[in-house]
Amino acid sequence: MNNNKNKSNEIETVITVRAEDHRGDPERMIRRFRKLVKNENLMEDLRDRRYHKPDSEKKRDKNRDRQRKIQKVNKKREELLKPRDSYRRRRSR
């Protein structure tokens, strides 16, 4: 009865891999398919949609991911700003 509600939750992604594009090599086709699925984040969406998640939990996960990314960037910045040991050794001679 309520088809509009169900349609908004559907995943509408079409991924096609043709044999002609990969010279008929099934290994290359599988690798390409897996790469396309990963880039579209289909598996993550399916895992997320498998069970209902309250909004508060979604928000908590989003904040946790954001903090993780911030920490990763800060760690890279610290490594870039830190003087290298090889430079110190050359200068101290």
Query: What is residue 84's DSSP assignment?
Result: P
Grouping H, G, I as helix, E, B as strand and the rest as coil, residue 82 is coil
pTM for this model (two decimals): 0.46
| Cα distance between residue 77 and residue 47, in whole Å | 33
| Cα distance between residue 37 and residue 29, in whole Å | 12
Q: Report the Cα–Cα distance between both ends of the chain, in Å, rounded.
A: 82
Written as one letter, the residue type at 44 is: E
Counting residues of the chain whose pLDDT is more than 70, the rounded percentage is 76
Tell me what pLDDT residue 1 has.
46
Give 34-78 pLDDT, tens digit per residue: 898 888 888 888 888 888 889 999 999 999 999 999 999 999 999
| Cα distance between residue 3 and residue 9, in whole Å | 10
pLDDT surpassing 60 at residue 4:
no
Number of Cβ within 10 Å of residue 65's Cβ equals 10
Token pair listed for 18: 């043709």
